[in-house]
Chains A and B, each alone.
Chain A
Amino acid sequence: MDRLLPRVLRVDLTRKRSWVEERPDLFRDRLGGTGAAIELLHELCPEGADPLGPENPIVFAVGALSALYPLASKTVALFKSPHTGNLGESHCGGRTAFALRLAGYGALAIEGRSDVPVYLSIHDGGVRFRDARTLWGMGSSVTVGRILRDVEPGSGHRTILRIGRAGERGVTYAAAIAETYRHFGRLGLGAVLGSKNLKAIVVSGQGAIPVAEMGRYQKLYRELHERAVRSDLMKKYHELGTAQNVGPLNEMGALPVRNLQATRYPEEPAFSGERLAQGYLGRRLACAGCPVACIHLAALREPHPEEPYFYKTTFVSYDHEPLYALGAMLGVEEAAGVLKLIDAVGHVGLDAMTAGVVLAWATEAFDTGLITERETGGVRPRWGDVAVYREMVRRIADRDSEFYRVLGEGVRAAAARYGGAEFALHFGGNEMPGYHTGPGALLTYLAGARHSHLDSAGYAVDQDLLRRGEELAPPDLARRLLAEEARRQVLSSLVICFFARGLYDFPTIAACLGALGDDWDEGRLRNLGAEVLRRKHAFKVREGFRLATLPIPERAMTTPAPGGAVDEEYLRQALAEMERWLEGNDGLEG
C-alpha cells in the first residue's frame, strides 16, 4: 500500500475548514472503497441523523487498485439516504476515481453545511471553497459543467461533479453528475449535496503512485489488459453497451413495461441496443483507466421549432437502466422519445431509474382515477407521451406543487399519500430496476445492500436457472445470492467496475495486491467481503431497516416473470434465511 492511499481528506463546510487524516486501518485491512467508507459512515453519521441535515456526512472512497489496474475505475459514495432513510450507496465512473487517487487521497469525507452555495475546488493539495451563488438555480447541469470546465484548472486529469436543480431542491432521488455522462445515480446523493449548499466538487491530480514490485505489476497489468480487450468477457459492454440487454429481456418477457403491467413489447423496442447503435450512436467513451469504453453517446438531432434547416444536436448517454425506466416502464415507442427523456432527467439531475418508475406510478394512478388533473396541475400523463413526461420531470425538479413535491420523494411516498401501493414498484423505498426475471431479481432488490440489480445479480441467477430448467429452495437461493453479494463487497472495496467481475476472481485480486506489496489470500478476501456486507447491513438496521417486515410490491408478484408468478411465501422464506446470515445468527464464520 502506498503512503498516499490512507489519506482521508476531511472537509467541514460549516467552518470552511479542511484537513487530512491518516487512516491506514481502513485501507490496509479493508482495501478502501466500500469497506473503508462504511466504517467512516458508522463513525461520522450519528444514529438517527436527518439525511438532509448538516450532520449527514458524505464519504467518497477509492481503493488499493484504483488508477493502477484496468477497470478499477469507480468511486463509491456512502451517506445516509434521504430516499430510503438508511444506507445510501452509489457508484460512479468517469474520472472521479483517477482524480481522487492521483490527488493523493483514498477518501474524501464532507460534513456540515455551508451558509451560502459553494463549490469545492481541490487541486495541488489545496482545498478552496468557491462561491457558487451564480451557479445555483441554473437550468441545466450541463451548463454548470461547461462553466466549471472553463474556470477550473486540471483539464484532462480532473473530475467535475455537480448537482442539478433537483439536488438543490431536495428531491430525494436527485443524482450527482460526473463528466456530464456518468452519475452517482441512486439513493439521493444529489439531494444530500444540495442540503449542504454544495453545488459541485472539482478534483484534479496527476501524482505518482509507487509500486512495490514493478515487474510483477507490469506483467499482471498486461495480462488483465489483454483479457479486457481481447476476450469475450467485455465484448458486449464494448460493442452495444448494456443497451444490448433490452432486446433479449423483451424477448424472454422480463422487461418491465408500463409500470410492469406487461413484460414485453410485441416487437423489439425501437430503443434496443442494436437499433440505437444503428440509428443514433455518435461516440463511445471510457472511464479513466478502462479499455472497454462502454459509455455510449447517442447523437440526437432535432430540427429547430421555428428556423428551417437549423438543427440542434444533443449527445445523450444511454444504458439499459435509463432505457428501461424512461422507455419501457413508460410505454415509449420511439427511440428519439426515450433519448429526449434521458436528456431531460440529466439536465435537472434526477436519478433516471427512479424518475421513470415514479412517472409510471403517476400514469397508472391517473388512469385509475387516484389522481386527477387537479393534482397534476392540468397535465394528463399517458403511456408513451414524452412531451408530458418532460413537463412532469421539470415540475418534479422544481417541486412546484404539493403533488410534485410528493412525487419528488418517490413512489413509496406517493402511494402513502394518494394510494396505489399495489402498483408502487419500490423495494424498501427504492424504485425497481429493469429486470423482472424471477425471484432472484426480486430478492436482490429487497435485500441487496444498496437495492440495485447489481448487488447480488439475482437477475443473472434467474436466467441461469431458467436455462437449466432448475429451481432452488428458498434457503439455497438466499445463500447463493449472499455469497455473490459478499464477493462483490471485495470488488466494491477495491472499487472495481462490476462489469469486470469475470476478470477479477479472488486469486487475481490477491496477485494484484501482492504486486503492490500487500499480502492477501483468497480466505482473507472472502472474510472481508462477508464482514463488509454485515457492516453495511448493521448500518441499515441501526437506521430502522427490517428485512422481515419489508413490504413486497404486489405487482411484482402478480405480473408473471418468465418462470411464472413469484410466490410471496417463497420470498419471505429466503429473506428470513438472509436475515439470519446478515445478522450473524446462522452459526457460520463471518
Chain B
Amino acid sequence: MAKRLAVVDVERCVDCLLCAQACARRFGEGGLARSAIAVRSAGGVERGFVVVVCRACDDPPCLHACPVGAIEKGPVGVRVVLDRCIGCKACVAACTIGAVRWDEGGGKPVICVHCGLCARFCPYGVLALEEVEGG
C-alpha cells in the first residue's frame, strides 16, 4: 500500500528544522535550498509551529496549473519532470497551502516525493508516513 507523509502531531514540533535539512540531503548537499518541507511559527514560537508538507492531493492543483506538463502524477503525490519545466512558478501559485517550494538557484519547483526521510530525522514524532486516504 502506498504511503504519504503526514503531520501527525504538530504540537510536538520544536522548530529544530532537522526534517527540512534531511530533505535537502537527498540532493547531496547541506542547507535548505532544495528542501520540500517548511516549518514556520504560528505567530511567534511560543504559539507553536506550522509544518507545511505536500498533502499528495488526489487531484493536484499544481499539476493542473503547469502549462507544459512538467508535473506528473506519481505513485503518491506528484513528480516534477525538470527537463520540461520552464520555471514559470504557476505550480507555486496554485498550491493553496504553499507546499510547492522553489529552488532559487535552479529556478525549478521542489515538491515532496513522500520518501519519509524527514520523518526518520524528526526526534519528536511530528511527521510520519501513513496509508494514503483522505487526510
Closest B residue, CB atoms, query A291: B123
Is there contact, CB below 8 Å, between B28 and A211? yes
A102 at the interface (CB under 8 A from B): yes
Interface 9-residue window, one of B39-47, B71-79, B85-93:
B39-47
Q: Which residues of B (58-98) have their CB < 8 Å from a CB of A?
A: none
Within 8 A of B (CB), among A135-165: 145-146, 149, 155-157
A262: interface (CB < 8 Å): no
Interface size on A, residues (CB 8 A): 42
Interface residue A129 (Cβ < 8 Å from any Cβ of B) = no
User: Which of B31, B34, B35 has the most C-beta atoms of chain A within 10 angstroms of its own C-beta?
Assistant: B31
**B16 x A68 contact (CB < 8 A):** no
Q: Give A221 to B22 CA distance when docked, in angstroms.
A: 10
Per the bound structure, the CA–CA distance linking A363 and B124 in Å amounts to 44
- Decide: B29 and A209 in contact? CB cutoff 8 A: yes
Within the complex, what minimum Cβ distance (angstroms) separates B22 from chain A? 9
Given contacts A149-B44, A180-B44, A283-B46, contact A208 B29 (CB under 8 A): yes
CA–CA, A155 to B44, complex, Å? Answer: 10
Cα distance, A287 to B18, chains bound together (Å)? 10
Given known contacts A225-B18, A286-B16, A288-B15, is B31 in contact with A207 (CB within 8 Å)? Answer: yes
Q: Majority SS of interface residues in chain B?
A: loop
Residue pair A180, B105 in contact (C-beta under 8 Å): no
Contact status A180-B45, CB under 8 Å: yes
A285 lies within 8 A of chain B by Cβ: yes
Enumerate chain A residues within 8 angstroms of B21, measured Cβ to Cβ.
Answer: 67, 289
Interchain CB contact (< 8 A) of A287 among B16, B29, B48, B105: B16
CA distance A285 to B121 in the complex (A): 16
Asked if B38 is at the interface of the complex by the 8 Å CB criterion, the answer is yes
Contact with A along B90-117 (1 / 0, CB 8 A): 0000000000000011000000000000
Closest A-chain residue to B38, C-beta based?
A156
| A210 contacts chain B at the CB level, 8 A cutoff | yes
With both chains docked as a complex, state the minimum distance between the C-beta of B37 and any C-beta of chain A, in angstroms. 10
Contacts of B24 in A (CB 8 A): 208
B18 to chain A: which residues have CB within 8 Å? 70, 225, 289, 291
Question: What is the chain B residue whose CB lies nearest that of A222?
Answer: B121
Query: A180-B45, A207-B105, A208-B24 are known contacts. Are A67 and B15 too (CB-CB below 8 A)?
Result: no
Chain B residues in the interface with A (C-beta under 8 A): 14-18, 21, 24-25, 27-35, 38-41, 43-46, 48, 104-105, 121, 123-124
Interface residues of A (CB under 8 A from B): 67-68, 70, 98, 101-102, 124, 145-146, 149, 155-157, 179-181, 206-211, 214, 217-218, 221, 225, 229, 282-291, 293, 295, 297, 315
Given contacts A156-B39, A208-B32, A217-B30, list 14 more A-B pairs with CB under 8 A. A67-B31, A149-B43, A156-B38, A156-B40, A180-B46, A206-B32, A208-B31, A208-B33, A208-B105, A211-B30, A214-B25, A225-B121, A289-B16, A291-B16
Q: Across the A-B interface, give the 5 residue pairs with the lowest CB-CB distance, nearest first.
A: A156-B40, A209-B30, A286-B16, A208-B33, A315-B46
